[in-house]
DNA sequence: CCATATTACATAGCAAGCTATCCATACAAG
DNA sequence: CTTGTATGGATAGCTTGCTATGTAATATGG
């Protein structure tokens, strides 16, 4: 009858995400990175020179959130923003050498966090778990 | 070889939590509630008159986070804080009538969000999913 | 061509997470 | 009892989310 938070997917999702963020922060802060910056770098390591709009679409955050995160990354010397040749509204986001050098250590840190997090799941369950997360994400996006 | 965010449990956890928060916000904002306040109310509906310390332990957030959330809840007329009789450092957190009246509509909203989120999972997978979330949470807490 | 729409980005302000500090009170050891 | 430590809470300041709004540039319809 009463609502049990430890049985609520939404509550567990929040708790899990906070723990993941803390675990990642512990491992990448020594690199001078924060989790929000890391996810931007994931996209730029894959394809450099994206616009803010591209990043917003790929990471599914609001434009204002991305603008602020990019400001902090520029302040920290991770990216540079240069005007787009064809569209003067847009600014291309490019990695600095410093950011390029962080790819290997930062992705290793994230891989280790994921491995530890999933360590208690039966090996066969790990892929199932990712699929379920993706299914829930798809359902929530459809509901939006 | 390269790190794929759509296969990273940590990234998916963050994305899922943001979508859950947005879905819950849409449904409880009309009640004058925000998600962080809702999770405090879940504990107080179960047991009124807890201290800040109790809430910190039960919800696994930092003391400073709880202090700020309780300040907003007091400002919004959801709780009142009264000095503890036995320990003058502590302040008992008590629900207002307004907060008590929100239990049914707010838990209904959260139940509906959970149902929609899990709608795409096979019925038998839904309990499995919660167990897996709890397993990941336990692993991350142990790592901390 | 020009008025209007839309698009790309910036800014302000709020919530909720965090760490680091500080204060006041309580408790425990000498 | 006094002194040192532990505990409950408050406060400052940061990141990363969000909404709402403003501005400049582009695209479009008549």
Nearest to A113 among B10, B23, B43 (CB): B10
pLDDT digits (tens, 9 = 90+) for A78-127: 999 999 999 999 999 999 999 999 999 999 999 999 999 999 999 999 99
Does residue A105 approach strand D to less than 7 Å at its CB? no
Chain A hits for B119, Cβ within 8 Å: 139
Length of chain B: 144
Is residue B1 predicted with pLDDT exceeding 70?
Answer: no
Å between B62 CA and D9 C1'?
Answer: 12
B57-68 tens-digit pLDDT? 999 999 999 999
Measured in angstroms, the CA of B88 and the nearest CA of chain A are apart by 31
Grouping H, G, I as helix, E, B as strand and the rest as coil, residue A52 is helix
Q: What's the mean pLDDT when you consider all of chain A? A: 97
CATH assignment, B5-143: 1.10.10.10
Confidence at residue B50, expressed as pLDDT on a 0 to 100 scale: 98
Q: Does the distance separating the beta carbons of A10 and B45 come in below 8 Å?
A: no
Nucleotide lying nearest to A86, CA to C1' measure: D26
Q: What share of chain A is helix, strand, coil (3-state, %, to 5)?
A: 70, 10, 20
Q: What is the dihedral of CA B19, A141, A40, A17, to 10 degrees?
A: 30
Task: Assess whether pLDDT exceeds 70 at residue B105.
Answer: yes
Does domain A35-101 correspond to CATH entry 1.20.140.10? no
DSSP for chain B, please give it. Answer: ----GGG-HHHHHHHHHHHHHHHHHHHHGGGT--HHHHHHHHHHHHSSSEEHHHHHHHHT--HHHHHHHHHHHHHTTSEEEEE-SS-TT-EEEEE-HHHHHTHHHHHHHHHHHHHHHTTTS-HHHHHHHHHHHHHHHHHHHHH-
Q: Decide: CB of B97 under 7 A of nucleic strand C.
A: no
What rounded mean pLDDT belongs to chain B? 97
Averaged pLDDT, B42-50: 98
Q: How far is the CA of A105 from the C1' of C21 (A)?
A: 32
Question: Given a cut of 70, is residue A1 above it in pLDDT?
Answer: no
In tens, the pLDDT along A16-70 reads: 999 999 999 999 999 999 999 999 999 999 999 999 999 999 999 999 999 999 9
Q: Could you state, in order of their start, the residue ranges of all structural domains in chain B? A: 5-143
Distance CA B113, CA B57 (A): 25
The answer to whether B62 CB sits below 7 Å from nucleic acid chain C is: yes
CA B105 to chain A, closest CA, distance in angstroms equals: 12
Which nucleotide is at minimal CA–C1' distance from A18? C17
pLDDT attached to residue B2: 81
Interface-testing mutation among B133, B138, B144, with chain A (most A C-beta atoms within 10 A): B133
* pLDDT tens, position by position, A102-115: 999 999 999 999 99
Query: In angstroms, what separates the C-alpha of B133 from chain A's closest C-alpha?
Result: 7
Cβ separation A9–B138 shorter than 8 A: no
Mean pLDDT in residue range B100-108: 98
């Amino acid at each position: 009858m009463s609502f049990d938070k430890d049985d609520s997917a939404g509550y567990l999702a929040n708790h899990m995400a906070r723990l993941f963020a803390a675990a990642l922060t512990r491992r990448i802060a020594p690199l001078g990175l924060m989790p929000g910056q890391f996810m931007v770098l994931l996209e730029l390591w894959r394809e450099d020179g994206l616009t803010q709009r591209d990043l917003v679409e790929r990471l599914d955050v609001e434009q204002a959130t991305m603008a602020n995160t990019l400001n902090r990354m520029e302040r920290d010397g991770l990216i540079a923003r240069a005007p787009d040749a064809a569209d003067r509204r847009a600014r291309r986001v490019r990695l600095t050498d410093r950011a390029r050098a962080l790819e290997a250590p930062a992705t290793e840190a994230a891989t280790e966090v994921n491995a530890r997090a999933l360590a208690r799941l039966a090996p066969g369950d790990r892929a199932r778990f990712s699929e379920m997360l993706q299914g829930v994400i798809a359902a929530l996006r459809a509901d939006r």
